[in-house]
Amino acid sequence: MKVPPLQTAELKITPQWWRLLGVVAPLALIATQTFGFMTSAPDRDMGNLQKIMYVHVPAAWNAFIAYFVVFIASVRYLLTKDERHDLLAASAAEVGAVLTALTLMLGSIWGRPTWGVWWTWDARLTSTAVLLMIFVGYLALRAFTDDPERRARWSAAVGIFGALNVPIVYMSVRWWRTLHQVQSSPSTVDPAYAWGLRLNAIAVLLLLIYFIARRYNIARMERQLEHRRDELELRPEGEPVHA
């Protein structure tokens, strides 16, 4: 049996804006990093170490945005059963896991010279680590579940539960013990650093959107191929493939 090749037109799923974003986002990040480095004087206590903040803090903020996307997409999937929401949630989870891991690693590198330890059991560190493990569990569940519909429903449930749990973990660890410095926000940071932080956060956000869109696009293509393959396999012998 001869299988006709897939037409590339069938794989055009999202608009082409993300190609442009793929150029703009890295350039923006380079520009904002340069801006951050140029405008900030070395910190009185931390010196140039402070510049880790320009990646660490934006990565952390955007990791939470990614998890928020997972949560919303999961809820929408359970309400509509539209496969696209499931694929969006999965894409956001992958990017979110990378950003969360980046946040933890940079924080650890920064913490060693500043606090004198690689790790402390404070509320935000610990709940970020738990968040990473929830992401990992979510992705592992997807990897180990074969049936796509079942995978979508289950991972939506896990995504919602995970989102519900993150604030609870945060509060419970906080009651347990805490020593993290007050959360960095433009109001607690010297104005000299604030703009560097804001701009970098926007650049990382652009990158986040690009990665999620790109991953989503690939996921859609994979699903289309799977549907196509099922269609071909279920087709009665000798019947032509409809276009």
Partner 1 sequence: MSAVAAKDLTAERRAKANIVAVTSLGALTLLVFGFAIGPDVATLRTAAAGILWLSVLFSGVLVFHRSYQIELDGGALETLLLYPGERWEIFAGKLLANLCVVLLVEAIVIPVALVLYHVSVPDTWPALLAVIMLGTLGFVTLGTFYSAMASRTRSREVLLPLLLFPMLVPVLLAATEGSSALLVGDPMGDAGAWLRLLIVFDVIFLLAALFVFEHIIEA
Exposed/middle/buried for residue 7 (C-beta within 10 Å: 0-12, 13-18, 19+): exposed
Contact call for residue 183 and partner 1 (CB under 8 A): no
Contact call for residue 141 and partner 1 (CB under 8 A): yes
Q: How big is the site for partner 1, counted in residues (CB under 8 A)?
A: 29
Total residue count of the chain as it appears in this document: 243
We find the least distance from the C-beta atom of residue 103 to partner 1, in angstroms, to be 16
Residues between 50 and 109 that touch partner 1 (CB under 8 A): 78
Cα–Cα nearest to 141, from 156, 151, 153, 129: 151
Q: Which stretch binds partner 1 (CB under 8 A): 9-17, 18-26, 94-102, 154-162?
A: 154-162
Q: How far apart are CA 81 and CA 67, in angstroms?
A: 20
Contact call for residue 168 and partner 1 (CB under 8 A): yes
CA torsion angle for 193, 27, 73, 165 (degrees, to 10)?
-30
Looking at beta carbons only, is 158 or 201 nearer to partner 1? Answer: 158
We find the least distance from the C-beta atom of residue 139 to partner 1, in angstroms, to be 10
Q: How far apart are CA 166 and CA 172, in angstroms?
A: 10
Buried b (16+ CB within 10 A) or exposed e, 189-228: beeebbbbbbbbbbbbbbbbbbbbbbbbbebbeebeeeee
Q: Per DSSP, what are the bridge partners of residue 47? A: 43
Contact call for residue 154 and partner 1 (CB under 8 A): yes
Q: Which stretch binds partner 1 (CB under 8 A): 5-13, 24-32, 152-160, 221-229?
A: 152-160
Looking at beta carbons only, is 51 or 142 nearer to partner 1? Answer: 142
Contact call for residue 164 and partner 1 (CB under 8 A): yes
Question: In the chain, what are the helix, strand and coil shares in percent, each to the nearest 5?
Answer: 75, 0, 20
Query: Residue with structure tokens 């690693």?
Result: 105
Query: Residue with structure tokens 């539209």?
Result: 82
Looking at beta carbons only, is 57 or 94 nearer to partner 1? Answer: 94
We find the least distance from the C-beta atom of residue 158 to partner 1, in angstroms, to be 6
Contact call for residue 9 and partner 1 (CB under 8 A): no
DSSP for residue 51: G
Residues between 121 and 140 that touch partner 1 (CB under 8 A): 130, 133-134, 136-137, 140
Query: What would the two tokens of residue 218 be?
Result: 């690939």
Q: Per DSSP, what are the bridge partners of residue 109? A: none
Q: Of the candidates 49, 98, 157, 202, which one interacts with partner 1 according to CB under 8 A?
A: 157
Q: Which residues bind partner 1 (CB under 8 A)?
A: 78, 130, 133-134, 136-137, 140-141, 144-146, 150, 153-154, 156-158, 160-162, 164-165, 168-169, 171-173, 175-176
